[in-house]
Structure 1
């Protein structure tokens, strides 16, 4: 009996990945299930070998102790609508897979990829078809999916066992010091450091909006960005404030996620404020994206009020931008 399935993986911000990652560095798809097994697609923007002319793509079996007969086909989709897809189907006959990844070191040259219709709006789309024929060996019990995110979110919402109250302007938030300390070095030092106060049960915060603090606390408990940004007027505005909060409390992963989101949301109206923010908070990849966007849209950017503000308040940043334009 054969079980089959298909997974679509969109690789966004290809140019950002290309500038920010090295050889043998990769990004992965969300895990997906076929034949009772967990799989991921691995994408290497600079390849998985010494030959960096190619991108590499692999299918990985995430169940390390499982052995099975399977086959797969990786397809890079043509996004022009012509239907000229790039199909790699060497592994199109069932073979034995045991907890590792299989794929293509030389999936396609970067030069060909970057000049083709496979790359559109700085994104790629992969389709992976998997056919699982059978499992080999003893019956394997599949554990239920992790509930840790849900459990921690419920703990925050129910306020069970909370031992710290934050007062942020007119709002209050209850939380758990040990969880905050585990996620943030700033909170850890404040509660349990050499000059910290473990008995502290109330803290007032200034220079942060309640909606931003709420989004930050939700990330600490769930490791996810908020679903809604309405309270701050615009998505970019909210993410900008959230990046500042992440930098303030030492939440490096949140800060990097905000960088990615702001890169995706770049437009003429927010370019200047985002560039200034990236400069002030040492976000090198976001700053590079802003510089590239500014050079590509120079005529519109220089007419915005934000650019005029940068021109007056940050001559060093303006000088960097002018050098970029000259190059």
Structure 2
């Protein structure tokens, strides 16, 4: 019996001195070893048996079934509640659709109720599956917001009852979950839930899904791309630069190939048939040096620089101003991703003092989403008068007078009232434009 590396060989071999054929001598043990191995591979040595056994445990495996929800929220604001009354029992006012868990949903508000038997005594509120789906399981929550600031919201939640009844199953498109008798209408109309003829409903949907997790045999974390850092280091080092830009008295060195790869305008300026005669030194007009520096930073790093560090100012207004200039620069040099980043940032930072200038900028550079956000903000009754008192509104009136008509039309659509647009601070008189373009005056 010999044991080696976990393999047991039970060899019942004849005396090596009598093995025949072939003959082995005591002085040649290697031939004997080769002969034994050869006979093992072929399945035996004459009449003698060779038994090989291996003992090895199979590895234990694990898996887990995980059932969880993908949650999403939507806020639905119903302006003009009183005007929605009387549309008829079973008819609803719908929110915009929204996506949760791969399905499209909508909120349906029934001002006169959903059921004929209630005879408009209650308002009804439902969440509806608005996309194709079969047996979609979900949890829901509907909250009618208290607009008095007391925080006494009316909450109807399915999430807390999940252990009792399980998720709700929506069989097909158009299936709904909600309440026919959500709130008694006469109580709603005298409550803190209704303010300025407006209701606000918050909705939460949790779509149930299952997955099976098993441990990965090999898991190697891959770091994110750092190509931007490498190009940024190239810019900061100044090595091998071949073009210099003079901007408002400051000089910036860069690399032609990098600029051409990132910007179609730079590509035409540096390598196109109409390229500048001197492509080693270029003077940039109508741009501030910090803005061009931020532009170069994005071209190399593919990231926005720290605005506070760049401008030396910590105010939000300064950051907004830099984003406005950078958006114009991005449009000038055909940097679409930078333009969209600036557009998104400006959309999030709209204020009374900046909305007018941002609106003019959006119009000039064809930023339709930003323009829509500015119009919506400026048209709010609580914002409009304050916006008209800003210097930016005067600039808007001078540079883009057509936007005043659009703003008025937006206000008229959202409030269904005639609203005056522009101010000339004289005895409280406002000078504006009606929907037909005529100049009108009205005292506030």
TM-score range, shorter chain: 0.5 to 0.7
> Does 2:235 match 1:149?
no
Matches within 5 A, 1:131-210: 133-135=214-216, 139=218, 141-196=220-275, 200-210=279-289
In 2, Cα distance between equivalents of 1:269 and 1:281: 20
1:241-299 deviation line (CA, Å, top 9, x unaligned): 00010011011111111011111110000111001111111111000000000011112
Q: Which residue is 1:302 aligned to? A: 388
Match of 1:258 among 326, 342, 349: 342
Q: Supply the distance in 2 between the matched residues of 1:46 and 1:183 (Cα, whole angstroms).
A: 34
* Map of 2:404 onto structure 1: 318
Distance verdict in 2 for CA 1:206–1:188, change over 3 Å: same
Give 3-state SS (helix, strand or coil) of 2:283's partner: strand
Asked if 2 retains the 8 angstrom alpha-carbon contact of 1:212 and 1:242, the reply is yes
Unaligned runs of 5+ in 2: 1-61, 65-69, 77-96, 107-128, 132-138, 144-150, 163-172, 180-199, 206-210, 414-444
What is the distance in 1 between the residues matched to 2:353 and 2:270?
A: 40
* CA distance, structure 2, for counterparts of residue 75 and residue 170 of structure 1: 61
Alignment of 1:267-286 (within 5 A): 267-286=351-370
SS in 1 for 2:273: coil
Structure with higher RCO (Cα < 8 A, 6+ apart): 1
Map of 1:115 onto structure 2 = 201
Cα distance change on mapping 1:169 and 1:55 into 2, 3 Å: farther
Distance 2:74 2:300 in 1: 27
Q: Is residue 2:329 matched to residue 1:245?
A: yes
- Judge conservation of contact 2:74–2:98 (CA < 8 Å) in 1: no
CA distance in structure 2 between the aligned counterparts of 1:55 and 1:269, rounded to whole angstroms:
39
CA offset at residue 143 of structure 1? 3.7
**Cα distance, 1:186 vs. partner?**
0.2
Distance verdict in 2 for CA 1:326–1:159, change over 3 Å: same
Instruction: Give the Å deviation of 1:115.
Output: 2.4
Structure 1 portions without partners, runs of 5+: 4-8, 16-43, 57-73, 90-105, 120-129
**Taking structure 1 as reference, are residues 232 and 264 closer, same or farther at Cα in structure 2, changes over 3 Å only?**
farther
The root-mean-square deviation of aligned C-alpha atoms, in Å, is 4.6
Match of 1:70 in 2: none
- TM-aligned CA deviation for residue 308 of structure 1: 2.6
Q: Deviations over 1:66-85 (max 9, x none)?
A: xxxxxxxx999x9x899x79
- Secondary structure at 2:354 match in 1: helix
Deviation per CA, 1:91-140, whole angstroms, max 9, x where unpaired? Answer: xxxxxxxxxxxxxxx9xx9x99x821769xxxxxxxxxx996401xx635
